[in-house]
Every structure is written in C-alpha cells, then in structure tokens.
Structure 1
Amino acid sequence: MSFPSWIVVFLCPLLFSTALAESKKSAPPPPQPAAVPAPSPPVTPPADKGPAKPFDFSDVEQKAKELAAKPYARDESGMPEFLTRLDYDQYRDIRYKPEKALWRDENLPFQIQAFHRGFIFKDRVVINIVDRGSSTRLAYSPELFDFGKNQFPNPLPADLGFAGIRFHHPLRKDDIFDEIAVFLGASYFRAVGLGQLYGLSARGLAVDTGLPKAEEFPIFKEFWIEKPAKDASALTVYALLDSERVTGAYRFIIRPGLDLTMDVTSHLYFRQGIERVGIAPLTSMFYHGENTDRFLDDFRPEVHDSDGLLIGRSTGEWVWRPLNNPRQLRISVFRDEKPVGFGLMQRDRNFDHYQDLEAGYNRRPSAWVEILGDWGPGAVYLIEIPSDAEKYDNIVAFWVPDKATGEGKEYTYSYRLHFLLDEFTAPGGGKVVATRVGASAPDSPNRKFVVEFASPTLKLLSDKAAVEAEVSASAGKITNIVVQKNSENDRWRLSFDLEPEKDKDPVELRAMLKSGKDALTETWVYQWNRR
C-alpha cells in the first residue's frame, strides 16, 4: 500500500477511545538544491530593541511562566475558510520553495523551510531566528510557497503565519540537503538519520492519553532557532508549548548523522492539575506482525513502524515487550524509581519480513529515550489501541511521574532522544528477536508461544550448554517448556504452552534464559488475551 507524502500529517485531536487518526507515512527524498543561490525569505524587524542580554532559554522559560498565569487562548485567527476546506491531497500540494530556504545562500550546514497553514493545521505558529543574541520574527509571504494546482478565491492574508517547520542538513553529500526533522501538528515532531525513512513520532507532552475522556493536545505555538556557525554540527531550537492546563519551555539540540540525537530539556508550568501527564511521549503504528494470532487479509507478512517496547530498569534488568494490535484497548504499566530509559524499537530489519517496496518499514527508525538526571519515581505506560488500518498511529509510550500536578507547580525534565537503525541493545544481554503465537494443537484452547533470543554470547554456546528458561504466568498453567539452540541461525529458542484459566484475562507472561544464576537475556514480557 502506498502513502505518497512529502509531509507529516497528524489528525488530532480525537477521543482516545478510537485510534489516533494521524495520517503518516514515509517522505520521498527532499528536492535538490538549485545551482544558483537565491535570497533568503524576509525577516520582520523586531518591534523594539528587546532585552539588553542575549536571547537564551531563560527567555522562553519566562514566557512559559507568564503564559501559565493567563487563561488559555488558542490562536487560529486569520486563516480564510477556504484553507480549512482543503483535503489532505490539496494541502500536501502546497510546498515551500526550496530556493527560498533560509540560509541557503550563506553556506551554512543547516537550512529551514516552513509549512503553510491549512487543512487541519489551523494554529498560527510563530517562527523566530536568533542571530548573535537578537531574536527576529520570520515574516510570512505567499511568495515563499508553490501552491501547486490549488486555486484560491481570494488573496492570502499578508500576516497569515506558518503551521510548522522543518530542517535540512547534508547527510549523503555536502551539496545535498536532506530533511532531518519536522515539527508539525500540535507538539508532534519526527526525525531521521542517514538511510532512515520517517516512521514513529515524538511529542512534546501527552495529556490524559488513554483515559475515557477527550485527550488534550498541547501545541508548540512559537519557535526560536539559533543561527548556526559555518562549522556547526548541531542546531539549537527553542519552543513554547501551550495547552489548557499546562505550558512549557523546550530546548532541542539536534545533532544529525548516521543516527540523529536530540538533547531535550522541558520546563513545565501547570495552570491546573492533570490526571495523567506523559513525559517524552512516543507514538507509533503496529498493524500486524509475526505475533499476530488472527487472520488479516494482507499480502505483506508484517506491517509496523515499531515492533516492541524496550525498558532499561534501575535494577539492571532489561525488559522487552512485543507490540500488538489488540482487539480491545490495552494499557500496560511498568513501575520504576530511576529507569535508564525506554523506547519504541523497530528491531526487525529484514525486508523479506515486510515485502513492501513503497513503505520501507525495514528502514523506519527506532526511538530511544535516554533519561538524563533524576526523574523520580513513576512508570512507563504502554497504550495499545485496536486498529483496522495501517494509517492509524495506535501505539503510545511515555513516562508518568508520581509527582502531583496543580496550579503553580513546575517541573523540569531532561532526556536524549536517539533515532537509530542499529537497535539499542542491553549491555551484554541476549535480546528477543522473534515472538510467535499459535494454537498448541488443532482445536485446542491452549496457546503455544515461541520466543527466540540472540546475542554474540548465545551464538558461541554449544547446543549442549546448560541453558534453561524461567517462565511465569499471572494466571493459567505453563507446560511443555523447551529450550534449544536453533542450528539454522545460531539463535536460542524457547517454546512453551499456556493452559488458560476460564475467565482469567488478560494473562501476563514473563520469560528469560539463564545459565545457573546468571541471566543470559533480557526479560520477555507479554500480555495475552483470549478476546
């Protein structure tokens, strides 16, 4: 199935009891730069001279703090109705002209392009450029955009503003600027490293996600981008987040390369208490995979942007939870005091397992949240939503702190986001590389689980090595445990049967391989439900 798109589209907000309708798939390579440099887009002079000190993160923090003391006011003003009536294809036909990219004529290592307002992107997003400590606003002009086949009944307002922003940097060749990151729609953003295709998304903040009420979607309403030096290897971006019950000051230090990393600092200011606030949220898609135990009429063996949740716990244990497309909403909670990190990973890089020449699921990045500093006690939440199509992002993972929220409270969180192809691996441990589920025998209610583990250490072990499994279930009976080396691929395979108890759903399963008292692998955890 093809999803031709040069842009990231997020359909929000919606009630979370339905799949998050975020139309998104891979973007083709960015346009090639023109041979002749063109002038940069205009910049509006500042209204006044501003503060005497150079602009920095403290200015964004002050704006967020002041904003939190005021009632929430969303800015959707100034957009003509004919822009709101655009459909997806009409909207994606509006393109920023590459020759108008900011800094294109200055031989800098980064370039900026903006997104036009329209379709579902109604919020006005202000973009500022910080040059030698002075902040100036990037001026909107229709001349910056190619509107394709669109014909509008009236001229566009001169002060329409933008909907989002994207960044380019040479990854393959010095004179070809590849798209590396995009911020568009609420507080969503994506990034890619060399050889990667857009897949899962990150967000600034998740508010009341997975609760039986409307989810609140905070918005990045203003950005400040520091103009880089000619030899810069990183780009610093500041963002102001706003929502009904919380504001935030964000700093992103973007480092492109083989893998792209973002150092993120978020300072949150609460207008009101929030029942469930999600820190460092990741949003992805899982339609079906090797562990899907029901028929889906699809020629492709697997369709997903991510295939598992990885958690590095404070105890030294590493946990792998394969993702699923459940028949009903599932919420899993993994409590911890000081976790190392968590992420939604795409471990399976074998094209043969996807057979999709257009979507390129084997090239979708994993995203790992490396926690910096002490976040205090809390839990990693995994939310899996039933989905009937791959166009829906139905997987969400984030950290929920135990700290109470409320009027006047503020908290700071720092973390490093890794977008990578080579999967982040637990130090020294064998990792889960396959999970398969099926009937243990024809017409039997019992289920057979087959889990394969791999690591350099496991590969070297003789097939007669004393490797055993530790398997447990929250309900039901575990039988027929078998551990053996797979001579076809040098992996170690664990298989067992689950005899479910009547009316005991869901069943939480745990398994790992060990030799004596020594753990050889990460811990495989799985939630099975008969419905």
Structure 2
Amino acid sequence: MKVRILLILALLLTGIGIDPVAGFSAPNVPEATPATTPPPKRFNFADVRRRAEVLASQPFQASSHTLPDFLKGLDYDQYRDIRFRAEKGLWRAEGLPFEIQFAPLGFLFAQPVLINVVGEGESKPVEYANDLFDYGKNKVPDNLPKDLGFAGFKVLYPLHTDSHYDEVAVFLGASYFRAVGQKQNYGLSTRGLAIDTGLPKPEEFPWFREFWLEKPSKDATELTVYALLDSQSLTGAYRFAIKPGVATQIEVKASLFVRDKVQKLGVAPLTSMFLHGALNERFFDDFRPQVHDSDGLLMATGNGEWIWRPLNNPQRLRISAYQDNNPRGFGLLQRDRSFDNYQDLEAHYHRRPSIWVEPQGDWGKGSVQLIEIPSAAERYDNIAAFWTPEKPVEAGQQLEYSYRLFFFLELPNLSPGGRALASRIGAGGTGELQSERRRFVIDFGGEALAKLADDAPVTAMVSASTGQIQNVVIHKNSYTNGWRLSFELLPQSDNPSELRCFLKLGNDVLTETWSYQWTVAK
C-alpha cells in the first residue's frame, strides 16, 4: 500500500489602505501585497529517501502475492513468448527520446512492483492492463486477473540510429538491472545490493518494490529512475541516472537504512557467468574454446595499484578478498574480444559488456570480494564481485554510497600500464616432476610494452603465499607485440597459494599486478 503525506502551508498577506479625506494629506502607505501560495511540492529523491527511512522503522513484511498457476508454471521459453506490445510503450506517442516497455509477471519473476511516472513534479501510478501484452503461443485462461501488475521494465533509446529505438537497460527481478552500450549484447548483471553473499547460510535478496520514472524532455540524453528497496535487514532509496552511449553510464546514489545487523554487506554488486576458459584445469566437452560473460576482475586500489585477477570455474567454492582503503574502482571485464576464442554465433560472448564501478567520494576501509561458485552449465551466474565495508553494519545505521557504472567493450583510460591479455596454466617440469609442478604463462600487452626493444632488461616480480616459485622466464612475444612471463609453482602439499606477479624495468612498474588463487584440483 502506498502512503503519501502532503503537507501544504498557506500564508495569506493582507494589505491595509486608508482613504484620503478632503483637506488632509494621505499618509505614506505601502501598496497592498496580493495573497500568495507556495509553489506545489515537486517529487524528487528526498521523497523516496523519506519513504525508505519510515519503512525501515517498521517490521519487514514479505509480499503475500501469489501468481496464478498459469504464470507460475511457465518455463523459460514460454515466458519469453510473452511480449509487450511495442505500440503501447510509455512516451512513444509523444516522440520522446526514451521509451519504456513493461515486463510481465511469470516464470522466476513472481513479485509485482509498483511503477510510477513523475511529470511536472507530480507522481502518478502506471495502470496495468492485460492487453499490454501479447502472450504468443501460450494458452491464456479466461479468468486471468485484471490487476496482475508488472515484474519490471525496459528502457529504450535510439542507441545506434535516430530511427530505431534499442533496448539499453532493464530492471527485472529482485534488485537486478542490466545495461548495454553500442554494439553490445546483454551479459553480466548489476544489483542494488548484496546481503550475506558467500556465507554458509541462505543469501538475502533485497528487492525494488517501487519505481518512479522521471519523464524526459524532448532533447534529453539521460533518464532518471528512482527506486525503493526493501529486505529483512534494511531499506534503501536509489537514484539512477541512465546515460546511453558507446559506453553507457549509470550514476547511482543510494541511501540505506539498516533494520537489523548485517553480517556481510555487498555494495555495487556485479553478477556474471564463467563456465570455462583458457585457465581451466577442468575438462569441458564443448566445441567452443571459451564460454563466459567475464574473464577477470580488475581493481584500482586506493594507493594506485592496478590488479588483474583471472576468473575460473573452481572445483570448490572459492572466495577472495582484496583489502583496500578508498578504492578508486573495480569491475568484471570481458577482455578477450576475439570471436575465434568463443565460436558462438548465438551467444556472442565476444560482445558481452564489461562493467566498471567508479566510487564517488571516500568509501573508507574494506575489501573487494570475489566469489567463484562451481558450475556445470552456462545458464547459471556463478561469479559475484562487490565492495564490503570493514566496519560492521549495525541496526539503526544510515549509509550513503554514490558511484558510476560504465558498460563498455573497451575503455581506454582503464589500467594505463601494461595489461594481462591472456593467462594459461599447464603441467610444469619434465618427467616425474610434471605431476607436481604447475606452469603459469601470462601475456602482457600495451603501448608502452610494445615500444620496448627486444633486449630491454625487463624483470619480473613473482611471489607465492605457499610453495616455491621456480624457472621464471621473460621474453618479447612478437605475435602480440607484448611480453610473456612464465614461471613454475612447486606446491606445498595441498595448500592453496596466492600468486602475484608484475613486470618492471629498473624501478619503473610496467604492468598491472596479475593475481590468482591456485588450489589443488580434486
């Protein structure tokens, strides 16, 4: 139920005048002031923030909504066959630069959300109707409720040409949302918040229970969306400024109000898929060389270090935490853009966007956490990355976070030094030693590396938390116009080992730091 409190204050000013009398001079009296009324209150982020604060003071109430059996029983393909009628899109008839299409309930999307439009400062709900959707080949029952509601919405914008509106963002399911820039296919997702992800207990999934879409002007290049988040542990007010482009940007502002203590808070969470790639030690019976939405985690630390962590599909749950203070950024990237390395004409993994999170302001001490979950199929998102504050999150706290999200194929300003282009692993040593040693091969590339002479005295800094590093070799790779580093790890029993390496020339660091957690395959 929506609760809206309108406070209106009227101030009436009355002017007093005195009529002149014959033979007397009129006194100097100011002109009468006409009655005035303050301008009407305009809906904005402060309204959503107040709602979140009030909601947090009340016990959490789970939704009691139940989907009709017809919608509850839909499978993935049946749900996809339900399509919004494009001609009924919000703002389409007005020729505005943005259009909105609404998403139906069904399949995994069982929770209806309230959607409002803010025009001229006033908020009005969007009315639901069954005829907004074409149900395709699905057999629709005659008694389908007329007040089902929406599961979410899609944002359309003329991304490539002025004559065609492309889907650039979608908000659908819990607090999930995705976006794309030019020449990109949907891939990894972002979330409003992650709670207790990767702990030995069920994860808590906050959900956006209500949205407000700010009506754009005729020359607008960005769309503002407000959202009210709710969960057992906290509530939140969100503002999203969506700016489509070659690299679509979303500016996020979040105000959080904590109901109960949160064991692990995940800020700016990213969710992706990694089935197999060049670094695998597991066999996958697949004609495609690689299958993943992202191939690595990139971090820019508060002290200026750039760290690249290749992703993997491990045998066991793997959690890595990178301690930092006031991070400059982090993201899940798809660096390998060669179709030859995927060979997928349907999924187009080489066009999946990378996402970079750029914090605004100081986030303090905490860690970028990476969670890798064993997976046997590409339909499962098994990778998560987010920022976790060091200080415990207690009931009654108010937290503020602002950050920018970039959805891109290439972002030239990222990792200004040499980048890790490819990472490979295989047997090391010879003969009987091959069963013990592991060889790691990392190719670094970049403009500065390409300019170095073949005989430049490049050195490598390689370390391991356990085990011994041996046989370090560095040489120019003429095929990539970069430099290749290889080394062998002699493991210490079955203990995991945190590996780090980078290239130097004298005292100058040439590359980002390559980081990887090696574990014994079982």
Q: Same fold (TM over 0.5)?
A: yes
Aligned twin of 1:19: none
Q: State the distance in 2 between where 1:116 and 1:328 align.
A: 36
Work out which of the residue numbers 71, 80, 97 in structure 2 matches 1:109. Answer: 97
Contact 1:76–1:124 (8 Å) recurs in 2: no
Q: Which residue of 1 aligns with 2:504?
A: 514
Is the 2:222–2:241 Cα contact (8 Å) retained in structure 1?
yes
In structure 2, what is the Cα distance between the partners aligned to 1:270 and 1:300? 45
Cα pair distance change 1:147/1:76, threshold 3 Å: farther
Preserved CA contact (<8 Å) 2:445 2:480: no
Contact 2:358 2:405 in 1 (8 A): yes
- The aligned counterpart of 1:474 is 465
1:427, CA displacement in angstroms? 4.9
Residue of structure 1 aligned with 2:448, choices 457, 479, 494 = 457
Deviations 1:148-170, CA, capped at 9 Å, x for gaps: 11223332222211101110000
Cα displacement (A) at 1:78: 5.8
Separation (CA, whole Å) in 2 of partners of 1:424 and 1:509: 27
Higher relative contact order (CA 8 A, sep 6+): 1
Cα distance change on mapping 1:401 and 1:269 into 2, 3 Å: same
Could you tell me how far apart the structure 2 residues matched to 1:254 and 1:225 are?
11
The residue type paired with residue 115 of structure 1 is A
Secondary structure of residue in 1 paired with 2:448: helix
In the other structure, the counterpart of 2:518 is 528
Asked if residue 157 in structure 1 is aligned to residue 148 in structure 2, the reply is no
Contact 1:514 1:520 in 2 (8 A): yes
Structure 1 gaps of 5+ residues are 1-45
Provide the C-alpha distance between the structure 1 equivalents of 2:64 and 2:248, rounded to a whole number of angstroms: 32
| Number of residue pairs matched by the alignment | 486
Q: Which entry has the higher C-alpha Rg, 1 or 2?
A: 2
Report sequence identity in percent: 56
Q: Deviations over 1:104-158 (max 9, x none)?
A: 0111000001111122211110000000100000000011110111223332222
* Partner Cα separation in structure 1 for residue 287 and residue 64 of structure 2: 43
State the partner residue of 2:237. Answer: 249
**Do the aligned partners of residues 248 and 206 (structure 1) sit closer, same or farther apart at CA in structure 2, a change above 3 Å counting?**
same
CA contact (8 A) 1:103 1:111 kept: yes
Q: Who is 2:492 aligned against?
A: 501
Matches within 5 A, 1:296-445: 296-423=284-411, 425-440=413-428, 441=430, 443=432, 444=434, 445=436
Note the alpha carbon deviations across 1:251-310, whole angstroms, 9 max, x for none. 000000111000000111111001001000000001111111222111111111000000
The Cα of 1:423 is off from its aligned counterpart by 4.1
CA displacement, residues 365-397 of structure 1 (integer Å, 9 cap, x when unaligned): 000000101111110000000011111110000
Q: 1:269 aligns with which of 231, 240, 257?
A: 257
- Where do 1:138-149 residues align within 5 Å? 138-149=126-137
TM-score normalised by structure 2 residue count: 0.91
- Asked if the contact 1:76–1:123 (Cα under 8 Å) also holds between the matched residues in 2, the reply is no
The separation in 2 between residues aligned to 1:49 and 1:513, in whole angstroms, is 62
Aligned partner of 1:181: which letter? Answer: A
- Cα contact 1:467–1:515 (8 A) shared by 2: yes
Find the aligned partners of 1:234 and 1:527 in 2 and give their Cα distance. Answer: 40
Greater Cα shift, 81-90 or 423-432: 423-432
SS state of the match for residue 77, structure 2? helix
8 Å contact from structure 2 (residues 470, 489) kept in 1:
yes
1:50 deviation in Å?
Answer: 8.1
SS at match of 2:160: coil
Q: Equivalent residue of 2:46, what SS?
A: helix
Distance 2:268 2:4 in 1: 35
CA distance in 1, matches of 2:345, 2:475: 35
Distance 1:403 1:249 in 2: 21
Q: Which residue of 1 aligns with 2:482?
A: 491
Give the secondary structure class of the aligned counterpart of 1:77: coil
Give ranges in structure 2 of 5+ residues lacking alignment.
Answer: 9-39
The one of 162, 165, 169 aligned to 2:157: 169
Distance 2:176 2:504 in 1: 41
In 2, Cα distance between equivalents of 1:392 and 1:47? 40
Matching residue within 416, 439, 443 for 1:448? 439
Root-mean-square deviation (CA), in Å? 1.6
TM-score using structure 1 length:
0.89
Contact 1:74-1:123 at 8 Å conserved across structures: no
State the secondary structure of the residue aligned to 1:130.
strand
Q: Is the 8 A contact 1:346 1:423 kept in 2?
A: no
Task: Describe how 1:161-240 pairs up with structure 2 within 5 A.
Answer: 161-240=149-228
The answer on 1:128 being equivalent to 2:143 is: no
What SS is found at the alignment partner of 2:52?
helix
Whole-angstrom distance in 1 between the partners of 2:91 and 2:282: 52
3-state SS, counterpart of residue 197 of structure 1:
coil
